[in-house]
């Protein structure tokens, strides 16, 4: 272990309340572009525009921190343009906070020929096939040009479902070494917050070891990475629970790649604060609406004559009645425009992003008022109706933090 001197931080973590039963926390994260309520779901705005939403609509939905992909911004507009224009906030007219990923995951997942070495991630340019290399230094340099409020270290991420323990160990140890290179390369720690990423697959000992190494580096925030890659949900919960149990209380904890509503509320109970996922916006493009009673596919003909909002009582601009300044969109309308891809997808994207942000807002109030266990019970009752349908992993994970979903 190589503890470093305290690194500068461009954030303040203001803890507002803790659940007296579970490990849930409510906080305000003060970032360079304004305060952000925690827990939070961060919509993914790929290529500096959230598919289907303008920056204004994203702002209206209450979003104060969104995610940009370094890989996409690095290709287009490219680093020179970002430097010339003064970063991604100006480039996309977004006055609020931005978090960027390292670009590594995008490369490994999008580019077939990506290969990881100690130096970095080697891949062939999607433009002309020339060999390229993403190093920790290059990732940080790109993120410094983007100017995001939270930047992520380059990590060596492999599927949690990999049975290769030697490779898993190597990836975990390399991620620690790469963090040290990222810290050294980071030019603006006084205005951009570097988050480390805990790796170690589903092996709890590897996760514990990695957590200790990462804590010693004292970054402003800490992410738990490599999850949400098809592993069993109970294994996922054990990793999150183990890591949060070791993390310092006064730092934000970000679980990467998580976005299903039930995963969010359970992960918050396990002590996580920040989440991101492309699912809510991607699924909108397939006609799916997220509601408290589950996901509705509005391309299904059963909705062709349902002249009610996507979700009764929803305050998003689509669902709100015209008298209340909304569009008064009905399920039947979405059904009828769903085939014309963009219009239906656009409306559902607005609704889904609003659903996710509003869910986290309600979660936060429940924690502050110390009624989160009751909130969880009501959430699952609404979603599944019948206790016999509750997913076992959620029942077990919540029992582990003192909430019996199957009780009264």
Residues binding Zn ion (CB under 5 A): 310, 314, 316, 319, 351
Please say which residue, 290 or 367, places its beta carbon nearer to Zn ion: 290
Nearest to 240 by CA among 218, 252, 225, 229: 225
- The one catalytic residue among 101, 149, 241, 263: 101
User: Could you tell me whether strands 253-255 and 34-38 are parallel, antiparallel, or unpaired per DSSP bridges?
Assistant: unpaired
Query: What are residue 223's DSSP bridge partners?
Result: 197, 254
**Residue 101 annotated as catalytic:** yes
Instruction: Judge whether 83 counts as a catalytic residue.
Output: no
Nearer to Zn ion (CB atom), residue 182 or residue 329: 329
Q: Comparing C-alpha atoms, which of 402, 372, 378 is closest to residue 390?
A: 378
Give the torsion sign (CA, 153, 158, 160, 165). Answer: negative
- Helix (H) or strand (E) holding 286, with range, is none
Those residues with Cβ within 8 angstroms of residue 177's Cβ, 6 or more apart along the chain or in another chain? 118
**Of 45 and 347, which has the nearer Cβ to Zn ion?**
347
CB 292, min distance to Zn ion, A: 11
In angstroms, the CA 309 to CA 295 distance is: 14
Beta bridge partners of 68: 100
**Which helix (H) or strand (E) is 69 found in, with range?**
none
Which one of the listed residues 164, 273, 276, 385 is annotated catalytic?
276
Nearer to Zn ion, 50 or 314 (CB): 314
65 to each of 37, 170, 208, 389, 400, how far by Cα in Å? Answer: 9, 33, 29, 34, 31
- The pair of structure tokens assigned to 135 is 């190093």
Whichever of 319 and 398 has its CB closer to Zn ion, that residue is: 319
DSSP state of 387: G
- Return d(Cα 244, Cα 358) in angstroms, integer: 24
Place of tokens 């008022």: 369
Nearest distance in Å: CB 348, Zn ion: 9
**Residues tagged in the binding site annotation for substrate:** 101-105, 155, 199, 226
Known catalytic residues are 101, 276
């Amino acid at each position: 272990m190589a503890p470093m001197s305290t690194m500068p931080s461009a954030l303040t973590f203001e803890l507002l309340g803790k659940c007296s039963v579970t490990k849930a926390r409510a906080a305000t994260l003060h970032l360079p572009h304004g305060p952000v309520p925690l827990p939070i779901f961060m919509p993914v705005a790929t290529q500096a525009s959230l598919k289907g939403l303008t920056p204004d609509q994203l702002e209206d939905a209450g979003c104060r921190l969104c995610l940009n992909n370094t890989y996409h911004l690095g290709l287009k507009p490219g680093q020179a343009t970002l430097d010339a224009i003064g970063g991604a906030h100006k480039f996309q007219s977004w006055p609020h906070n931005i978090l960027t990923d390292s670009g590594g995951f995008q490369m490994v997942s999008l580019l077939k020929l990506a290969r990881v070495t100690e130096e970095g991630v080697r891949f062939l340019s999607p433009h002309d096939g020339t060999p390229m290399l993403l190093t920790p230094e290059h990732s940080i340099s790109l993120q410094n040009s983007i100017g995001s409020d939270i930047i992520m270290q380059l990590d060596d991420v492999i599927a949690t479902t990999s049975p290769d323990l030697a490779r898993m160990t190597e990836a975990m140890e390399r991620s620690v070494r790469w963090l040290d290179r990222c810290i050294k390369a980071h030019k603006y720690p006084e205005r951009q917050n570097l988050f480390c990423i805990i790796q170690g697959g589903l092996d709890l000992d590897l996760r514990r070891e990695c957590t200790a190494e990462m804590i010693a580096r004292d970054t402003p925030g800490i992410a738990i990475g490599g999850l949400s890659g098809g592993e069993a949900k109970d294994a996922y919960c054990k990793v999150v629970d183990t890591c949060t149990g070791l993390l310092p209380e006064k730092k934000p904890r970000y679980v990467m790649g998580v976005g299903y509503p039930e995963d969010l509320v359970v992960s918050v109970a396990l002590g996580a604060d920040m989440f991101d996922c492309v699912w809510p916006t991607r699924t909108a493009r397939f006609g799916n609406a997220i509601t408290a009673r589950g996901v509705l596919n509005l391309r299904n003909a059963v909705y062709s004559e349902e002249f009610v909002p996507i979700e009764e009582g929803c305050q998003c601009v689509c669902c709100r009645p015209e008298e209340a300044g909304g569009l008064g969109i009905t399920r039947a309308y979405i059904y009828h425009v769903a085939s014309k891809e963009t219009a239906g997808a656009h409306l559902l994207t607005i609704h889904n992003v609003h659903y996710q942000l509003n869910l986290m807002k309600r979660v936060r109030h429940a924690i502050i008022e110390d009624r989160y266990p009751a909130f969880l019970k009501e959430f699952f009752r609404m979603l599944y109706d019948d206790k016999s349908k509750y997913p076992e992993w959620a029942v077990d994970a919540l029992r582990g933090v003192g909430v019996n979903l199957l009780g009264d």
